């Protein structure tokens, strides 16, 4: 019988944290993580794959059974690189406006920022949190610019908790949903982080 980690009903990023802890205790073998929503399924799957594990997902009655195998026949886990102030650019965008003050001015400045960013080398990643997630929904004034950056290789991720808070998850138009644990990994990773709020 495989060890089962019940993560049903847990808020992001708790399913990933519970999976991480269980894998740390598991020297070799398999365990099953049970989640009840697609975002948790994607987050746990991505985490386990990035940790070098094999992953198999089965859906039963709207719940997801994620079998994670660690050890023989799996890929070695790579250690995160040390923080580098001159590495690839990572933007943490915490607002749908650029700066504070008049909101309409902030929206105009954000459009100008993304138009200017298209003239530079594409950043490694855009991480959108808080009201910044509004920039990657269907009605965004910068959706075209962010889509072009993604086509040029920029990874675009939006905080799932933030999308839920603003009730925008079904309007996500570019990029993918992420969790705070992954955001923290990128904030402390090898990229140069620039924060816009």
Task: Locate 72 and state its tokens.
Answer: 């023989």
Residues 6+ apart with CB under 8 A from 111: 141, 142, 145
The residues that are catalytic are 12
Dihedral, CA of residue 42, residue 48, residue 53 and residue 57, to nearest 10: -30
Q: 188 vs 15, 83, 87, 113, 170, CA distance in Å?
A: 21, 6, 12, 24, 30
What is the strand order of the sheet 192-196 is part of? Answer: 176-178, 155-159, 125-128, 89-93, 192-196
């Amino acid at each position: 019988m495989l060890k089962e980690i019940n993560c049903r009903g847990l808020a992001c990023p708790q399913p990933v944290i519970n999976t991480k802890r269980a894998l740390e205790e598991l020297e070799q073998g398999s365990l099953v993580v049970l989640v009840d929503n697609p975002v948790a399924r994607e987050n746990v799957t991505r985490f386990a794959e990035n940790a070098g594990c094999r992953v198999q997902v089965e859906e039963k009655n709207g719940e997801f059974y994620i079998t994670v195998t660690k050890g023989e026949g799996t890929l070695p886990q790579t250690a995160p690189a040390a923080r580098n102030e001159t590495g690839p650019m990572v933007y943490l965008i915490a607002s749908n406006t650029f700066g504070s003050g008049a909101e309409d001015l902030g929206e105009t400045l954000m459009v100008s920022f993304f138009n200017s960013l298209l003239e530079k080398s594409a950043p490694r990643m855009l991480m959108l949190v808080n009201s910044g997630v509004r920039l990657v929904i269907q009605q965004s004034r910068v959706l075209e610019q962010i889509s072009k950056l993604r086509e040029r290789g920029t990874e675009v991720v939006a905080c799932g908790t933030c999308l839920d808070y603003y009730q925008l998850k079904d309007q996500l138009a570019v990029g993918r949903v992420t969790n705070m644990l992954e955001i923290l990994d990128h904030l402390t990773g090898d990229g140069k982080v620039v924060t816009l709020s």
